[in-house]
């Protein structure tokens, strides 16, 4: 008996150790968002460009749109996408490692080292990244990460190529650069030499208005061989409307062009993708050189674009690979941006840049907001910035400031409020520089959004246009309101009555906010208690005296509190007359009142 127990303990220990071995090292999952230009694209340190799905709990990613263009439009473009990398090993084995695909889990993961997160590096900044050394940003916003296909090994049917991948992605804030994102990959074998390497980009597009219908079932798929670009295009009409922009994915000139023999492009149905099989069958598709016909009837858009073979890659050597996500206001503008990327690549993406973003300070009060901007120090002053990549050699390319306003969100859409530029030159309006603006006639307790940019003179030598710092990267939220009163006595509920037949979320500015581009839901309803003292307790009752909910308010700057018409256990309340009490916690004064909900 004792011997059997001893054997069982040894067995359990072996099982635990084996399980730990299968898990490989621990991994740290991270994501960041490109948001300085017109494209909002999530990037993860698993190589996936698709963490914006509700089921991706492991990323701790809130439900936001993925590959949104233009910013603030609710038009989404990617459901899932990423790289497949296939090669022949010395054994010889045929292996393929993939980022997240339909019916295939992530096979690339970062380590658990603190530096294997997603780094954010801004234009003009340098970051000390252990696996890159001193890294200086190329674009207005660079995201940098590293991952490999051997860190986590308990993945069904996965046999690693033992690849390290260093990924850098670049986003710009100003036209003509703000309608695409460039991704660079350094692919490095760590265990054995690789032969006949093929690289594939896989995508399921979902192009359309995300908040009004299914946007993945009426897309078209095109391949432009002369441009080395695949595209998903929204079919006209449908229950997701017609999107402003398609999404093109352009493979930029590979570093081993002389040895590249085949380009391939494949369309898949959902079932085809499920039945594609594992490494050998997947590699056969990647290396076939087949180019399938465009899908011109609206349907799901699953496709792969492949290039290879890169003949040999020794341990420690690097295969550099570049691609770009390309957008534009219609197919013609997307193609124009794709052509411009070729020029940009020849310059290693080094182009003139906008001034750094100015510092915006807001001071709200009743029915107006005062906005001011002053540089905290000389180094951060946009008026002093220098740009080594200008062709005209201008020592001070700064030209002016632009102030914008939105009633919708931190990402616009934006309306220009004011433009202040340098006087007495050949550019702009010569208004003269100013550093303060008062926006009046606002509604108290409504949200407004502002952003301030700095912009440059155009480059007269390279014909590069004036460049402007990012709108979305400098935005602020402001709620004008009266100062909180000293005590209760004038508390009111607005709107009263609340009417369920009114689309309050369609007001401008909207009374009810719908986050994340999703459809309006019951919990988005809102009434507001106004004229509240700094610290108070609000209790809401039915007419029969049953307590519905309690709201605790403690805010020295806002004399209001919102309620989403749900009970303390999250149930939506019914139509009826409701009573409330508000107790001032500083002096115990109490006010009572009533309001009406009509659904």
CA-CA distance, 176 to 313, in Å (whole number)?
36
Cα four-point dihedral sign 426, 430, 435, 439: negative
**Domain count for the chain:** 3
- Are 423 and 431 contacting, i.e. CB atoms less than 8 angstroms apart? yes
Residue finishing a domain among 321, 346, 371:
346
CA-CA distance, 579 to 596, in Å (whole number)?
9
Strand order in the sheet with 590-598: 498-499, 590-598, 576-584, 535-542, 547-554
Same domain, 436 and 585: no
pTM: 0.74
Gyration radius of the chain's alpha carbons: 28
At 11 the pLDDT is: 34
For residue 369, the domain's CATH number is 2.60.40.10
In a domain, 19, yes or no: no
182-187 average pLDDT score: 97
N-terminal to C-terminal alpha carbon distance within the chain: 71
559-564 average pLDDT score: 95
Tokens for 47, please give them: 């190589």
In a domain, 438, yes or no: yes
In a domain, 3, yes or no: no
DSSP 12-47: HHHHHHHHHHHH-S-----EEEE-SSS-BEEEETTS
Same domain, 410 and 559: no
Distance of CA 404 to the CA centre of its chain: 21
SS (H, E, C) 400-459: EEEEEEECCCCCCCCEEEEEEECCCCCCCCCCCCCCEEEEECCCCCCCEEEEEEEEECCE
In a domain, 573, yes or no: yes
pLDDT over 90 for what percent of the chain? 66
Task: Please return the burial class of 180, using the count of CB atoms within 10 Å of its CB with bins 0-12, 13-18 and 19+.
Answer: buried
For residue 554, the domain's CATH number is 2.60.40.4070
Same domain, 301 and 433: no
Residue finishing a domain among 446, 478, 510:
478
C-alpha distances (whole Å) from 480 to each of 54, 247, 471, 477 are: 34, 39, 21, 10
Residue finishing a domain among 443, 478, 513:
478
Same domain, 297 and 228: yes
For residue 180, the domain's CATH number is 2.70.98
Least confident segment among 58-67, 326-335, 344-353: 58-67
Same domain, 108 and 192: yes
At 265 the pLDDT is: 97
DSSP β-bridge partners for residue 420: 401
**pLDDT at residue 55 is higher than 60:** no
Tokens for 24, please give them: 């490989």
Count of C-beta atoms within a 10 Å radius of residue 502 = 13
CA-CA distance, 263 to 308, in Å (whole number)?
7
**pLDDT at residue 97 is higher than 90:** yes
Same domain, 295 and 436: no
Same domain, 433 and 389: yes
DSSP 324-391: EEE--SSHHHHHHHHHHHHHHHHTTT----PPPPPPEEEEEETTEEEEEE--SSGGG-GGG---TT-S
Q: What is the DSSP letter of 279?
A: H
Domain that holds residue 281: 27-346
Report the residue count for the chain.
Answer: 599
In a domain, 534, yes or no: yes
**Closest to 66 (Cα-Cα) out of 48, 49, 83:** 49
- Are 237 and 209 contacting, i.e. CB atoms less than 8 angstroms apart? no
370-385 average pLDDT score: 85
**Closest to 186 (Cα-Cα) out of 144, 133, 227, 228:** 144
The b/e string for 259-285 (b: 16+ C-beta within 10 A; e otherwise) is: ebeebbbbbbeeeebeebebbeebbeb
Q: How confident is the model at residue 586 (pLDDT cuts 50, 70, 90)?
A: very high
User: Which H or E run includes 205?
Assistant: strand 194-209
Strand 219-224 and strand 368-373: the pairing is unpaired
**pLDDT at residue 10 is higher than 70:** no
In a domain, 21, yes or no: no
Least confident segment among 21-35, 78-92, 110-124, 195-209: 21-35
**Closest to 155 (Cα-Cα) out of 195, 115, 203, 95:** 95
In a domain, 7, yes or no: no
Question: Up-side HSE of residue 303: CA atoms within 13 Å toward CB?
Answer: 30
Same domain, 427 and 543: no
Strands (E), 424-559: 436-440, 448-456, 476-478, 492-494, 498-499, 527-530, 535-542, 547-554
Same domain, 383 and 242: no
CA-CA distance, 340 to 247, in Å (whole number)?
16
Same domain, 230 and 179: yes
Distance of CA 450 to the CA centre of its chain: 20
Same domain, 545 and 461: no
Residue written as token pair 């309101």:
481
- Are 179 and 294 contacting, i.e. CB atoms less than 8 angstroms apart? no
Q: How confident is the model at residue 132 (pLDDT cuts 50, 70, 90)?
A: very high
In a domain, 210, yes or no: yes
pLDDT over 70 for what percent of the chain? 90
Same domain, 438 and 521: no
- Tens of pLDDT, residue by residue over 294-335, are 999 988 899 999 999 998 999 999 999 999 999 999 999 999
Q: Average model confidence (pLDDT) for the chain?
A: 88
């Amino acid at each position: 008996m004792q011997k059997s127990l001893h054997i069982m303990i040894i067995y359990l220990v072996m099982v635990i150790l084996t399980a730990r071995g299968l898990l490989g090292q621990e991994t740290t999952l991270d994501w960041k968002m490109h948001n300085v230009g017109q494209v909002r694209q999530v990037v993860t340190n698993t190589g996936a460009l698709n963490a914006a799905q509700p089921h991706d709990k492991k990323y701790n990613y809130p439900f936001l749109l993925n590959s949104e263009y233009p910013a603030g439009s609710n038009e989404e473009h990617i459901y899932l996408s990423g790289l497949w990398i296939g090669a022949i090993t010395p054994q010889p084995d045929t292996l393929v490692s993939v980022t997240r695909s339909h019916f295939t889990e992530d096979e690339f993961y970062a380590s658990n080292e603190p530096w294997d997160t997603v780094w954010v590096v801004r234009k003009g900044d340098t970051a000390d990244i252990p696996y890159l050394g001193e890294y200086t940003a190329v674009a207005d916003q660079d995201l940098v990460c590293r991952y490999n296909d051997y860190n986590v090994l308990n993945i069904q049917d996965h046999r690693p190529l033992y690849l390290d991948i260093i990924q850098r992605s670049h986003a710009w804030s100003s036209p003509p650069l703000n309608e695409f994102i460039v991704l660079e990959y350094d692919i490095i074998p760590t265990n054995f030499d690789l032969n006949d390497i093929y690289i594939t980009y896989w995508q399921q597009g979902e192009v359309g208005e995300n908040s009004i219908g299914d946007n993945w079932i009426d897309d078209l798929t095109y391949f432009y061989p002369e441009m080395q670009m695949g595209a998903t295009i929204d079919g006209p009409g449908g229950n997701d409307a017609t999107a402003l922009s398609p999404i093109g994915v352009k493979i930029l000139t590979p570093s081993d062009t002389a040895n590249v023999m085949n380009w391939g492009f494949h369309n898949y149905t959902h079932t085809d993708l499920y039945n594609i099989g594992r490494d050998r069958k997947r590699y056969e598709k990647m290396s076939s050189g087949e180019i399938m016909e465009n899908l011109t009837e609206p349907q799901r858009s699953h496709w792969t674009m492949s290039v290879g073979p890169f003949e040999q890659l020794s341990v420690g050597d690097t295969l550099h690979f570049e691609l770009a996500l390309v957008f534009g206001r219609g197919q013609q503008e997307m193609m124009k941006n794709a052509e411009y990327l070729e020029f940009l690549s020849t310059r290693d993406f080094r182009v003139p840049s906008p001034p750094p973003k100015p510092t915006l300070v807001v001071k709200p009060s009743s029915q107006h907001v005062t906005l001011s901007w002053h540089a905290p120090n000389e180094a951060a002053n946009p008026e002093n910035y220098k740009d080594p990549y200008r062709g005209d050699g201008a020592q001070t390319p700064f030209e002016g400031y632009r102030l914008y306003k939105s009633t919708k969100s931190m990402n616009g859409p934006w309306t220009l409020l004011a433009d202040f530029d340098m006087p007495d030159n050949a550019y702009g309006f010569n208004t003269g520089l100013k550093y303060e603006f008062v926006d009046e006639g606002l509604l108290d307790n409504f949200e407004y959004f502002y952003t301030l940019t700095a912009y440059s003179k155009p480059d007269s030598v390279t014909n590069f246009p004036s460049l402007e710092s990012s709108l979305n990267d400098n935005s602020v939220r402001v709620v004008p309101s009266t100062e909180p009163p000293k005590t209760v006595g004038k508390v009111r509920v607005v709107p009263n009555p609340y009417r369920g037949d009114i689309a309050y979320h369609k007001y401008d500015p909207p009374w009810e906010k719908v986050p994340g581009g999703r459809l309006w839901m019951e919990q988005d309803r809102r009434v507001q208690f106004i004229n509240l003292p700094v610290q108070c307790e609000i209790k809401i009752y039915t007419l029969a005296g049953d307590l519905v909910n309690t709201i605790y308010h403690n805010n020295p700057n806002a004399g209001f509190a919102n309620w989403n018409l749900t009970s303390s256990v999250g149930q939506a309340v019914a139509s009826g007359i409701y009573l409330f009490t508000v107790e001032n916690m500083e002096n115990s004064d109490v006010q009572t009142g009533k309001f009406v909900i009509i659904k």
